[in-house]
């Protein structure tokens, strides 16, 4: 399965934006992320709808953070992305006629739901400020520019 790396990617983008002055263009962010500007726009569009970032067109335009790093959690970002599928495994059929499959699905769903609950709880525990703090700690240790990619 191809893993969805949007959550990881958008967090990367947000932290970089926090380190930059003024609005940043999709082009610049795409450079940092080694991807395409359109991909950046697509991804940030979800965050804009949730009021986490703003975008301005034209000369001097670009993207700007407009959220509180102390209160926004990884879970908020996950939701802003449209709550993408968590698991790479799933049931063969979601609404089976077979009673065997029903029994299997019931137990599988139970296990996966519990795991998902834990994941969401953990995502809610971490704020963007937490990530930023850890990044700056890393910076202190190794005294060089914060990113090459």
Tell me if residue 7 falls in helix, strand or coil: helix
Q: Is 118 in the site for DNA (CB under 7 A)?
A: no
How many residues sit in the footprint of DNA (CB under 7 A)?
A: 34
Counting beta carbons within 10 angstroms of the beta carbon of residue 70, is it exposed (0 to 12), middle (13 to 18) or buried (19 or more)? exposed
Q: Which residue lies nearer to its own copies by CB, 61 or 83?
A: 83
Write the binding mask 26 to 65 for its own copies: x where contact by CB under 8 A, - elsewhere.
Answer: -------x--------------------------------
Q: Which residue lies nearer to its own copies by CB, 42 or 92?
A: 92
Per this entry, what is the length of the chain? 149
Other beta carbons within 10 Å of 121: 10
Q: What DSSP character marks residue 63? A: E
How far is it, in rounded angstroms, from Cα 127 to Cα 86?
A: 20
Q: Is 78 in the site for DNA (CB under 7 A)?
A: no
Which residues in this chain contact DNA in the complex, by CB under 7 A? Answer: 1-6, 9, 24-27, 34-39, 41-42, 44-45, 48, 55-63, 84-85, 88
């Amino acid at each position: 399965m191809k893993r969805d790396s949007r959550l990881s990617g958008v967090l990367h983008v947000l932290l970089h934006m926090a380190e930059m002055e003024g609005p940043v263009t999709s082009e610049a962010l795409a450079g940092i992320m080694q991807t395409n500007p359109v991909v950046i726009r697509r991804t940030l569009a979800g965050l804009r709808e949730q009021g986490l970032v703003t975008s301005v067109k034209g000369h001097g335009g670009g993207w700007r953070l407009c959220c509180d790093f102390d209160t926004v959690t990884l879970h908020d970002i996950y939701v802003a992305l449209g709550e993408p599928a968590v698991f790479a495994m799933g049931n063969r059929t979601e609404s089976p006629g077979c009673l065997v499959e029903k029994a299997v699905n019931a137990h599988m769903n139970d296990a996966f739901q519990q795991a998902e609950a834990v994941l969401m709880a953990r995502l809610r525990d971490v704020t963007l400020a937490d990530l930023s703090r850890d990044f700056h700690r890393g910076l202190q240790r190794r005294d060089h520019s914060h990113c090459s990619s």
